[in-house]
Structure 1
């Protein structure tokens, strides 16, 4: 499997759009196709206070700015990771969970965040999320970040995770990419961080 990962500003919009794929309310791409990795960016609650057209426009702008990476498998668009300065995610800065018990300047522009992974149907189960996490950390470092964080899901053997919830990435994905746990705000969420 030949994998290459590039910044979103270097790929045609059609390739990024293919990763998110057509969605339907019962399909595995429904949540990603509708959210478009704007969960921590849109004001209010994404479905009520913004339209799909607005979220698509926001993702296009995000991609044009190079704030995200697209993975290709054998020259086919197969995955995406959202990564950019943490301050670009206004809802993340005000969400209680990542900050409870932490004493840190959440508005520090030199700390980046990995907020979303999407792997296209047909390419799952091949370890692509692990490669995207590694690339996201390297991209943040290359862009001058002093650290990068992820807000991962803690998975447990035998426990079912509702589809769509794992878009933030599993703890082990970040561990394999060299992140360390800095905070566990709830039984299921773990803040992972890599300092440069």
Structure 2
């Protein structure tokens, strides 16, 4: 699995979520109970009806199939050989965001979306989300993305509930060179979400 990292800093590297790395995807987004019908980072990747219908192993199988496609479902951060982070990234046109009534389209560019950033417990506070975001941008650019979007909360420095922190914060996106493109009607953890763009 020796590949050139998409991003690298302070011993951390970021790589595409290839099929060879599926066990690491499972570590990052698979539920502790394999029969559980949660997560696998599917709630914003597939239509709500399909997300609700997929149960247990079907959810794992769906994501495994995504890792076999030419365009990978996200990127993984590593500290040495240990997986420590995940960011979901894909063309907005392929996601439910394409039809969102709460998160508007800024323009007609074929934007890619980064909508989930997760860092493993015990590894937070080391800037892993920043290197993940850099890796996600690098991957999208490699795939021809003209512009990359995120939909973080504009929490103005207030604490965000960890269960909802996966959307990211405006400050994290700003540090990665994203700029405010639009407000939205969406909220998360009680905070307004904004569209941040880079490209």
Q: Which runs of 4+ in 1 moved over 6 A?
A: none
User: Superposed, which structure 2 residues align to 1:123-162 within 5 Å?
Assistant: 123-157=123-157, 159-162=158-161
Q: CA deviation at 1:136?
A: 0.9
* Equivalent residue for 1:192, pick from 159, 172, 196: 196
Q: CA deviation at 1:126?
A: 1.1
Structure 2: how far apart are the matches of 1:177 and 1:2?
Answer: 18
Structure 1: how far apart are the matches of 2:50 and 2:121?
Answer: 24
Q: CA deviation at 1:84?
A: 1.5
Residue of structure 2 in register with 1:58 after alignment: 62
Alignment gaps of 5+ in structure 1: 25-30
Tell me the secondary structure at the aligned position of residue 153 of structure 1: coil
* Equivalent residue for 1:20, pick from 15, 18, 29: 29
| 1:176–1:103 Cα change, 3 Å | closer
Structure 2: how far apart are the matches of 1:51 and 1:113?
Answer: 25
Tell me the secondary structure at the aligned position of residue 164 of structure 1: helix
Q: CA deviation at 1:50?
A: 2.7
C-alpha RMSD of matched pairs (Å): 2.4
8 Å contact from structure 1 (residues 43, 49) kept in 2: no
Residue of structure 1 in register with 2:82 after alignment: 76
> Structure 2 length normalisation: TM-score?
0.80
> Structure 1 length normalisation: TM-score?
0.81
User: Superposed, which structure 2 residues align to 1:99-114 within 5 Å?
Assistant: 99=104, 102=105, 104-105=107-108, 110-114=110-114
Residue of structure 2 in register with 1:4 after alignment: 13
Q: CA deviation at 1:104?
A: 2.8
Structure 1: how far apart are the matches of 2:118 and 2:29?
Answer: 7
Structure 2: how far apart are the matches of 1:20 and 1:40?
Answer: 13
Structure 2: how far apart are the matches of 1:142 and 1:190?
Answer: 25
Structure 2: how far apart are the matches of 1:179 and 1:136?
Answer: 13
| 1:60–1:21 Cα change, 3 Å | closer
Structure 2: how far apart are the matches of 1:46 and 1:130?
Answer: 31
Q: CA deviation at 1:103?
A: 5.6
Equivalences, count: 181
